[in-house]
């Protein structure tokens, strides 16, 4: 019999999760990553740093976020009880801020004065601009030109927060290209700049530190579920772009064998059409953005274009820890198509009065399917990773309505 894996012992000291992860960057950045790793290794166990992070999460972000029993939606679904982890209620409207608070504190302790970030949906860009404003640091956000159009509201929010938004015109003009450009900026300004990566991707130690900062989601949810229902949930469901909200929910439950985990990738127009953003479901292992992980690539190892109605899931890679969890079978990865996500968006809004982000709507749509196959006394927790205000323009456009 195989021994149980101690998931908390990963990544290993070289940043690997089994064959995945690592540090695939050009030499110029290696020392910056060593410096970041050293700073994080000492601060993550420093009581003052932890207290500072916890205080910010409580007083600035508004944590803990509630675990809400979606009673009416559960009744309509007719299966397991569905609970929503309300990350949409965080300051700035998504889980992304948990991570930017943590990384900005790191930046401050390391004496960095300039923040850069990449963004897809704009939620991470807004969360970065927010913490930079609060700490008086300059902030430069790289955003694919296509996303600048799709997420105009968040672009203006970032500008109001004092950030500079740099439209990226190379490649596919979406999140992956924004990340390339942020890396190029970092190489050029490596002395004074801190790169706040928005998900559990990138070179070691990013997948680890972003996960650690996001684990507040799962730690809270686990305790809240015990307090509110007297037991652990049977299943967890979260959408997977880079995978930060999913790993944040999953990780504190990895040792609880009875808890099933479902990561929901963007099926776009359908996995069979090739127009999707589901590397774990339909991709293969490779190296991109500093780590080895599942990718969407062609036979020559070129990264292929992705499609999703939600900008935050429109990414051809995924955090390396998810690749490892997939191979080990501890978590399962599934897809939800654009149209299914849009239905879930409308349904939750009408039935519960909660307007979810299109990213989170992928998790909701899958949770509904999954809950319907389960018993009424079972419990499903869905990570409601963000609110849907930013997506109103997209949905209106699909409805043929021109908002001015």
Partner 1 sequence: MSRLTPTFEKLRQNKRKALVPYIVAGDPSMELSLPLMHKLVAQGADILEIGVPFSDPMAEGPVIQLAHERALVHGVSLGGILDLVAEFRKNDGDTPVVLMGYANPVERMGYSSFASRAKAAGVDGVLIVDMPPEEAEDLNACLAGQSIDNIFLLAPTTTDERIAKVSAMAGGYIYCVSLKGVTGAGNIDVAQVKTLMARIHAHTDLPVTVGFGIKDETTATQVAACCDGVVVGSALVSRVAASDGSEPAVLEATTLIRDIRHALDGLSG
Q: Which is nearest to 90 in space by CA: 377, 271, 319, 360?
A: 360
Q: Which stretch binds ligand PLP (CB under 6 A): 33-41, 235-243, 339-347, 369-377?
A: 235-243
Pick from 43, 239, 259, 295: which binds partner 1 (CB under 8 A)? 295
Q: Which partner in partner 1, ligand PLP, none is near 271 (CB below 5 to 8 A by kind)?
A: none
Q: Which two tokens stand for residue 183?
A: 């890396």
Q: Which is nearest to 332 in space by CA: 290, 376, 366, 361?
A: 366
Rounded CA gap, 189 and 136, in Å? 18
Pick from 121, 165, 178, 216: which binds ligand PLP (CB under 6 A)? 121
Least CB distance from residue 31 to partner 1, whole Å? Answer: 4
Pick from 385, 391, 394, 395: which binds ligand PLP (CB under 6 A)? 385
Confirm whether 96 is a catalytic residue.
yes
CA angle, 292 then 117 then 97, to 5°: 95
Question: Parallel, antiparallel, or unpaired for β 235-239 and 379-384?
Answer: parallel
Q: Which partner in partner 1, ligand PLP, none is near 3 (CB below 5 to 8 A by kind)?
A: none
What number of H helices and E strands is found in the chain? 16, 14
Cα separation of the two ends of the chain: 63
Q: Which partner in partner 1, ligand PLP, none is near 386 (CB below 5 to 8 A by kind)?
A: ligand PLP
Q: Which two tokens stand for residue 73?
A: 């939606």
Site string for partner 1, 186-205 (x = CB under 8 A): -xxxxx--------------
Q: Is 287 in the site for partner 1 (CB under 8 A)?
A: yes
Annotated active-site residue in 65, 244, 360, 385:
385
CB nearer ligand PLP, residue 154 or residue 224: 154
Rounded CA gap, 245 and 217, in Å? 8
Q: Is 90 in the site for ligand PLP (CB under 6 A)?
A: no
Pick from 11, 64, 207, 241: which binds ligand PLP (CB under 6 A)? 241
- Judged by CB under 8 A, the number of residues near partner 1 is 39
Alpha helices in 144-272 (DSSP H): 145-150, 152-160, 175-188, 206-214, 216-229, 244-250
Rounded CA gap, 124 and 117, in Å? 8
Q: Which is nearest to 362 in space by CA: 332, 383, 376?
A: 383
Fill in the DSSP letter of residue 318.
-
Site string for ligand PLP, 302-331 (x = CB under 6 A): ----------xx------------------
Q: Is 177 in the site for partner 1 (CB under 8 A)?
A: yes
Rounded CA gap, 99 and 213, in Å? 5
Rounded CA gap, 366 and 236, in Å? 11
Phi, psi angles (nearest 5°) of residue 102: -65, -50
Annotated active-site residue in 65, 85, 96, 220:
96
Least CB distance from residue 29 to partner 1, whole Å? Answer: 8
CB nearer ligand PLP, residue 32 or residue 240: 240
Applying CB under 6 A, the residues found at the interface with ligand PLP are 94, 96, 120-121, 123-124, 199, 239-246, 312-313, 357, 359-360, 385-386
Active-site residue set: 96, 118, 385
Applying CB under 8 A, the residues found at the interface with partner 1 are 14, 22-32, 170-171, 176-177, 180, 183-184, 187-191, 285-290, 292, 295, 297, 299-304
């Amino acid at each position: 019999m195989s021994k149980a894996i101690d998931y908390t012992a990963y990544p290993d000291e070289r940043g690997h999760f089994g064959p995945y992860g690592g540090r695939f960057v050009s030499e110029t950045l290696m020392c910056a990553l060593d410096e970041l790793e050293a700073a994080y290794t000492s601060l993550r166990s420093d009581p003052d740093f932890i207290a500072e992070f916890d205080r910010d999460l409580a007083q600035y972000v508004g944590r803990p976020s509630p675990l809400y029993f979606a009673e009416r939606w559960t009744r309509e679904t007719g299966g397991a009880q569905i609970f929503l982890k309300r990350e949409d209620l965080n300051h700035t409207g998504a889980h992304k801020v948990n991570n930017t608070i943590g990384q900005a504190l790191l930046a401050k302790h390391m004496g960095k004065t300039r923040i850069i970030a990449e963004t897809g949906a704009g939620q991470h860009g807004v969360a970065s601009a927010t913490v930079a404003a609060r700490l008086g640091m300059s902030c430069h956000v790289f955003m694919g030109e296509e996303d600048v159009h799709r997420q105009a509201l968040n672009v203006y929010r970032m500008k109001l927060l004092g950030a500079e938004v740099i439209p990226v015109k190379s490649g596919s003009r979406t999140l992956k290209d924004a990340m390339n450009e942020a890396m190029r900026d970092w190489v050029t300004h490596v002395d004074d700049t801190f790169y706040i990566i928005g998900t559990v991707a990138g070179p070691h130690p990013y997948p680890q530190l972003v996960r650690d900062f996001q684990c507040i989601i799962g730690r809270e949810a686990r305790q809240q579920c015990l307090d509110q229902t007297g037991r652990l949930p049977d299943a967890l469901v979260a959408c997977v772009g880079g995978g930060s909200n999913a790993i944040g929910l999953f990780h504190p439950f990895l040792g609880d064998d009875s808890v099933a985990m479902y990561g929901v990738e963007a099926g776009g127009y359908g996995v069979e059409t090739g127009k999707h953003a589901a590397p774990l479901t339909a991709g293969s292992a490779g190296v991109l953005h500093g780590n080895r992980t599942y990718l969407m690539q062609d036979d020559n190892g070129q990264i292929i274009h992705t499609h999703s109605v939600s900008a935050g899931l429109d990414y051809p890679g995924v955090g390396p820890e998810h690749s490892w969890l997939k191979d080990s079978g501890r978590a399962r990865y599934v897809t939800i198509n654009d149209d299914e996500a849009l239905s879930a968006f409308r349904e939750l809004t009408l039935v519960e009065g909660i307007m979810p982000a299109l990213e989170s709507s992928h998790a909701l749509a899958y949770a509904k399917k999954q809950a319907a196959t389960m018993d009424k006394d079972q419990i499903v927790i869905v990570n409601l990773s963000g609110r849907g205000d930013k997506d109103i323009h997209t949905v209106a456009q699909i409805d043929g309505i021109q908002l001015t």
